[in-house]
Amino acid sequence: MEHCGDLHETRAYVNGIWVTSADARRFEVCSPGTEQVLSQVEDLTASQCREAIDAADAAFQDWKQRPVKERANLLRRWYELILEHEEILARLLTSEQGKPVREALVEVRYGASFVEWFAEEARRMYGDVVSTSSGSQRLFTLQQPVGVVSAITPWNFPFAMITRKAAPALAAGCTIVVKPSEETPHCALALARLAEMAGIPPGVFNVLTTARTKEVGLELTTNPKVRKITFTGSTPVGKILTAQAAGSVKAVSMELGGNAPVIVFEDADLELAASMTIATKFRNCGQTCTCANRVLVSDRVYDRFLEIFAGMAKKLTLGNGLTDDVDLGPMINSQAIDKINSLVADARARGASTYLEGGVRSDLGSTFYAPTILTNVDPDSRMLSEEIFGPVAPVIRFSSDEEAVRLANNTEYGLAAYIFTNHLTRAWKISEALEFGMIGVNEAAIGQEVIPFGGVKQSGLGREGSKYGISEFTEIKSICIGGFGPSL
């Protein structure tokens, strides 16, 4: 990764120091596009994780007392440095994650937007003054930082999932230990480099690289000094972490799996609906928790929509994300391909027809999978209840609004849903009826720093970004002062 200069690091960052593994172990990071080893990264131990938490706890005592303007200015500087290095960061991201470099640049800017936003929000951590039922008391509330935060982040957005957690945590006055995915540790380390350059004090932002996921995960979720766990990843792992955190009643935020429906009504602008479905289905090669998992289309426009949608999907180009003009990069690894193959085989065994034949593009390498569209998908097919996490779109008919809502809500997940209609009251009523945390109406771009991100049901707990994101890292303290005599 010679093009990534000083931002390419293989050591962990703890208490402002670049550290190696205590038992001299390293793990390999591979590039999904070439399947070549990119680098050997330091594999820290659980006891080094404990030391990182101790450092974060010591740093917390000072960081929480810094004037909020100082914290905000440091975050602002971090934000500026990210933007100054955006091209290098995007290439680094593509090298380890695979997405096309222009999509990686979008992620870097999206990630930066949280740092900018929470630098601003830091100064708006207001409290309340409340009337009490007794004339001899006065009551007010403060928001205080919750304490040391553990963050565990995934490989699909290796940059933005860190800033979306770390920026509000630091803004609130918390310190953080981030454990990035072992598939994509380089973005996290680059962020640590930039935090160091920005002057964020030692111990405030720590990055712990490790492949000893379970042992380190246990430390991050049970250490008594940790007061908050913030996680983005799969629902099964989220449940394990929540259960571990329960032992010492730590606060948790969980951004877990999704099973997003796209619903296309007969009055929709079909060109718009198809292009937005392309965007949400094939972004990051389908490896996004808000990606369309099921495309539900009104009987009355089903054939026409399929034709437009498949026409657009056919034009998407696959290739190494570092080369120009690629729409879809590789999947993260061969296990991801195995999972899609098994979901597609299951649907076909239950009678699904192939409308657009995609599948593995072995001429490009074993991790490339071309857009695939299936029809006549049996309701019991696994791909309708599990996250596909790949570029496969099942397209399903419905004949009434009630049926569309019933099909859409028929999932244990509830993260994002998208509806396409030009009927105002229908848009509103359907939005109210959908059991999802985020709804896009004639819109697929629902990830922005100003939008509360999060799900209901087994898609998680809490919201990231927006004016609500900072409160995930604060506790409300009420202060009731008694002893007031009669008014003057």
Q: Is 442 in the site for ligand ADP (CB under 6 A)?
A: no
Site string for ligand ADP, 449-488 (x = CB under 6 A): ----------------------------------------
The tokens describing 424, both together, are: 């105002």
Per CB under 6 A, the segment of 177-185, 262-270, 296-304, 316-324 that binds ligand ADP is 177-185
Please list, in sequence order, all residues whose beta carbon lies within 8 angstroms of the beta carbon of residue 480, skipping any fewer than 6 positions away: 132, 137, 138, 139
The C-alpha atoms of residue 459 and residue 231 are separated, in whole angstroms, by: 12
φ/ψ (deg, to 5) at 207? -125, 120
Nearer to ligand ADP, 33 or 154 (CB): 154
- Taking the complex as a whole, the smallest distance from the CB of residue 182 to ligand ADP amounts, in Å, to 6
Question: Pick from 143, 181, 259, 367: which binds ligand ADP (CB under 6 A)?
Answer: 181
**480 is an active site residue:** no
Nearer to ligand ADP, 171 or 260 (CB): 260
- Taking the complex as a whole, the smallest distance from the CB of residue 108 to ligand ADP amounts, in Å, to 19
Cα 222-226-227 angle, rounded to 5 deg: 110
Nearer to ligand ADP, 161 or 377 (CB): 161
- Taking the complex as a whole, the smallest distance from the CB of residue 243 to ligand ADP amounts, in Å, to 11
Please list, in sequence order, all residues whose beta carbon lies within 8 angstroms of the beta carbon of residue 462, skipping any fewer than 6 positions away: 230, 252, 253, 254, 255, 454, 472
Nearer to ligand ADP, 153 or 175 (CB): 153
Instruction: Break the chain down into helix, strand, coil percent, rounded to 5.
Output: 40, 25, 35
Number of H helices, E strands in the chain: 14, 24
**The one catalytic residue among 289, 387, 449, 472:** 289
- Taking the complex as a whole, the smallest distance from the CB of residue 231 to ligand ADP amounts, in Å, to 7
Nearer to ligand ADP, 179 or 186 (CB): 179
Question: Pick from 147, 233, 358, 365: which binds ligand ADP (CB under 6 A)?
Answer: 233
Residues that contact ligand ADP, how many (by CB under 6 A): 15
**9 is an active site residue:** no
Burial class (CB within 10 angstroms; exposed 0-12, middle 13-18, buried 19+) of 435: middle
Q: Is 240 in the site for ligand ADP (CB under 6 A)?
A: yes
Q: Which residue has the tokens 């007794």?
A: 134
- Helices in 173-283 by DSSP H: which ranges? 186-198, 213-222, 235-246, 270-282
Residue nearest to ligand ADP (CB): 217
Q: For 375-440, give the DSSP string.
A: ES--TT-HHHHS---SSEEEEEEE-SHHHHHHHHH-SSEESEEEEE-S-HHHHHHHHHH---SEEE
Three-state DSSP at 341 gives helix
Per CB under 6 A, the segment of 231-239, 310-318, 346-354, 462-470 that binds ligand ADP is 231-239
Cα 147-148-150 angle, rounded to 5 deg: 135
Q: Is 222 in the site for ligand ADP (CB under 6 A)?
A: no
The C-alpha atoms of residue 322 and residue 104 are separated, in whole angstroms, by: 10
The C-alpha atoms of residue 278 and residue 255 are separated, in whole angstroms, by: 23
Site residues for ligand ADP, window 121-160 (CB under 6 A)? 152-155
Q: Are 129 and 139 in contact (CB under 8 A)?
A: yes
Question: Pick from 182, 346, 378, 443: which binds ligand ADP (CB under 6 A)?
Answer: 182
Q: Is 390 in the site for ligand ADP (CB under 6 A)?
A: no
Question: Pick from 88, 237, 296, 301: which binds ligand ADP (CB under 6 A)?
Answer: 237
**The one catalytic residue among 9, 121, 255, 464:** 255
Question: Pick from 20, 137, 234, 431: which binds ligand ADP (CB under 6 A)?
Answer: 234
- Taking the complex as a whole, the smallest distance from the CB of residue 288 to ligand ADP amounts, in Å, to 10
Question: Pick from 203, 217, 321, 414: which binds ligand ADP (CB under 6 A)?
Answer: 217
Q: Is 213 in the site for ligand ADP (CB under 6 A)?
A: yes
For residue 336, give the H/E element and its range.
helix 334-349
Per CB under 6 A, the segment of 1-9, 21-29, 113-121, 236-244 that binds ligand ADP is 236-244
Q: Are 33 and 321 in contact (CB under 8 A)?
A: yes
Q: Centre a 10 Å sphere on the Cβ of residue 482 and count the other Cβ atoms it contains.
A: 10
Give catalytic residue positions: 255, 289
Task: List contacts with ligand ADP (CB under 6 A).
Answer: 152-155, 179, 181-182, 213-214, 217, 233-234, 237, 240-241
